[in-house]
Amino acid sequence: MLKCINKEVLCSVAGGLIAFCAPLYAATPVIVKPLSSVVSFEELTAPATVVNEQHIVVSAEITAKLLELPVKVGDSVTRDQALAELDCQDYLLYEEQAKQRAKSLSSQVGLASRQLKRTKKLQTTGSVSVDVLNQRQSELNSLWAQLQGGKAEEAISALNVGRCSVLAPFDGVVTEIYTAPGALLPSGAAVVKLLDTRRGEVSAALQPEQVTSLGASENIWLRTGENRYPVTVRSILPFIKSTAR
């Protein structure tokens, strides 16, 4: 009997009888397991705190009596929402006074301009002297300067009227109140303290060897009690505290 063996077929020839044999494959057992049961993940932790530089005191920008304080501690506010209303009567009067003064100066500038124009025509015919022409020009220049000052006063008055409402500079939450209605507030007096809830960042103190692992991590979390919040790395400071490493 002749036997031939290769990697795929085993066949036997004996006494003129040819037998065909099916290919033989060795049975390989396969075990399926969840990836989580065969791959281990290392979890690194470091102490961290939530910091927020946008926690500011909102102050009055003019001297006035506080009429209304419509917010309380814990209230959420939006940008440009009124946090306080100040007595604006005096500033409205100042604004009207500045408007009328600017209007009067504008009329005087117009008159002086027409007088200068006529004087120039008369001076060409010799009817008036150069000194008179120069005087008219000087008067016009003086009135023009006064008008510019009057317009500046008008703009300042309008700006102060706008400051009669103390507005929130950003969306946030009121954390403190420093005054009450009826108080006379000087310019710069604190009214409320406002926290920007959208600007919170996590600050963590890492060991030098943890910095590399942090850069390669796909999942970074802030854990507070039983809660976890996903975070991303904004910046790594190239600074090591010598005392704590």
- Give the distance between the most distant pair of CA atoms in the chain: 153
Tally the C-alpha atoms within 13 A of residue 26's C-alpha that lie toward its C-beta.
2
> What is the structure's pLDDT at 7?
46
Low-confidence ranges of the chain (pLDDT < 50): 1-3, 5-15, 19-20
Q: For the beta carbon of residue 213, count every other beta carbon within 10 angstroms.
A: 12
**pLDDT tens column, 208-221:** 778 877 777 778 88
This model's pTM is above 0.85? no
> What is the structure's pLDDT at 103?
94
164-169-171 Cα angle (round to 5) = 125
Residue 174's nearest CA partner among 191, 188, 162, 187 is 191
CATH architecture of the domain formed by 53-85+164-197: Beta Barrel (2.40)
- For the chain, percent of residues with pLDDT exceeding 90: 52
Instruction: Quote the crossing angle between the two packed helices 130-162 and 89-124, to the nearest 10°.
Output: 160
Phi, psi of 204 (to 5 degrees): -125, 140
